[in-house]
Every structure is written in structure tokens, then in C-alpha cells.
């Protein structure tokens, strides 16, 4: 794929859930385009492996997005390693399959804790850095499950609709500080998250699953100054899944 290199040169980015799947694709593309990237994930071995592969522009920090103390430590480590954060991709997420009837309270809380509260804590943690540099781009990963009803994903859908709501609220609050907040709504993307779900491509008009790198190009755009006039928006990238 032809590209102009350096679309985010000089930026300092944090990608949660950056060790696998779409997060790893965001990390790679941001680093390829000149950003310094912190890979923040619970999976230490894979995070370190990716950081070593990418070299001096990448660094791994172990982070459970549900823990405010770990977020504080991450912002300090990022500052001392690369400088203040100006891009955050709130990508870490989990999916547990259940219906409104079969969801246990424990499972419901677990999904909300990672997907929704993790996103909230991430935004809160990076705002001081972004205010300091006078700009910022927060990219929250929602889902097509946050736009239409999809059966058997009850807590997941609740969390992904919430991500869109928090995105709009934060976008309004942070616009005066030149901090942009946008949501990405991917459809079915080839990662381990959907590997066991037995999904078919028939419900996707383009007739195939997305590749993580295709989603990463949208995140790269939102991280870069090319999207300087874009905030509070839902960016759908789903092969037409939500069109019908």
C-alpha cells in the first residue's frame, strides 16, 4: 500500500490493548509514521515482544485499564521516556457472550469495567498531558455493536454504546483545549476476539472481515493533524455491516 511516511512524526501515543489484534496494528502504523508509542497491555510477554520488534520508538508498559493507579504510573513512565502524551487510543476490550437473561452480574460488571470504565479512566489520565501541550487526540474504540443491536453480546453492546456517549460528552468538554475525542466503530475484524464466535461474512455487504491494518489507517488519520477539524464523531468502518 502506498503511503506518505511521517503523518504523526513527533507525537507521543499510548495504545491500550496494544499487544494483540487491532491494538498491535495501531501501534505498528503509528510507529511507522513517526510517533513514539507506548504499548499498554495486561499481556506482558507479547507487549515486550512487539516493543522489541519495533525498536526505539516503542515501549511496553504493563497496564490493566481498570486500575487508576496503573494509569497514573503509565502517564509518568511515558513522560519520562518520550514526553507528554498527545494521542491516546482507548482500544483494550473484552467480549463475553450472553443475553440479557443469561448474563451474570459478575460477567456484566467485568465487561463494563474493562470496556467502559477503562475508557473513562484513560481519558481522565491523559487530559493533563494534553492540556500541557495544547493539543490532543483521544480515539475511543466502540463497535458496530454500539450502533445496532447484535444478539448474544448484551454487556458488550452496553459498554460500546457507552463509549460513544462518553466520546461525545468529552469532545464537548475538551474542545476549548484543542483536545479532540472521536469514536471508531469497527465491524467484524479478523482478530482473536472473534475467532471463536463462528461469525459469517454474509451479514457484511463487502463480503469479508476487516483486516486490523484497515482500522489502523482510520486511527492514524484521527491521531494526525489531518483530522484537526474532527471531534465528537462516530467513525464507522464495517464493510457496510450497519447499512441495511
Give the interface with ligand NAD as residue ranges (CB under 6 A): 16-17, 19-23, 41-43, 63-66, 91-94, 114, 118, 141, 143, 186, 188-189, 191-194
Cell 469514536 maps to which residue? 183
Q: Which is nearer to ligand NAD, 35 or 189 (CB)?
A: 189
Cα distance between residue 83 and residue 37, in whole Å: 11
In the complex with ligand NAD, the residue whose CB is nearer, 62 or 178, is 62
Tell which residue, 221, 211, 93, 235, has the closest CA to residue 158: 93
Query: Catalytic residues, which ones?
Result: 156
Main-chain phi, psi angles of 60, to 5 degrees? -95, 135
Amino acid at each position: 500500500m502506498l503511503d506518505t511516511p511521517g503523518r504523526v512524526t513527533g507525537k507521543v501515543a499510548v495504545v491500550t490493548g496494544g499487544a494483540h489484534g487491532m491494538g498491535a496494528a495501531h501501534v505498528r502504523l503509528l510507529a511507522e509514521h513517526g510517533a513514539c508509542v507506548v504499548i499498554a497491555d495486561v499481556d506482558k510477554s507479547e507487549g515486550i515482544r512487539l516493543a522489541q520488534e519495533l525498536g526505539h520508538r516503542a515501549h511496553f508498559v504493563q497496564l490493566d485499564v481498570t486500575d487508576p493507579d496503573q494509569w497514573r504510573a503509565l502517564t509518568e513512565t511515558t513522560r519520562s521516556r518520550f514526553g507528554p502524551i498527545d494521542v491516546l487510543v482507548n482500544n483494550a476490550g473484552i467480549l463475553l457472550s450472553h443475553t440479557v437473561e443469561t448474563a451474570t452480574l459478575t460477567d456484566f460488571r467485568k465487561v463494563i469495567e474493562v470496556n467502559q470504565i477503562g475508557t473513562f479512566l484513560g481519558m481522565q489520565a491523559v487530559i493533563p498531558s494534553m492540556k500541557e501541550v495544547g493539543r490532543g487526540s483521544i480515539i475511543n474504540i466502540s463497535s458496530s455493536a454500539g450502533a445496532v443491536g447484535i444478539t448474544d453480546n448484551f454487556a458488550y453492546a452496553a459498554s460500546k454504546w457507552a463509549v460513544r456517549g462518553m466520546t461525545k460528552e468529552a469532545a464537548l468538554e475538551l474542545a476549548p483545549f484543542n483536545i479532540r475525542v472521536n469514536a471508531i466503530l469497527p465491524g467484524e475484524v479478523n482478530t482473536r476476539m472473534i475467532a471463536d464466535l463462528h461469525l459469517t461474512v454474509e451479514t457484511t455487504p463487502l463480503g469479508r472481515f476487516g483486516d486490523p491494518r484497515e482500522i489502523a489507517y482510520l486511527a492514524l488519520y484521527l491521531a494526525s493533524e489531518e483530522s484537526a477539524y474532527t471531534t465528537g464523531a462516530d467513525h464507522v468502518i464495517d464493510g457496510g455491516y450497519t447499512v441495511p
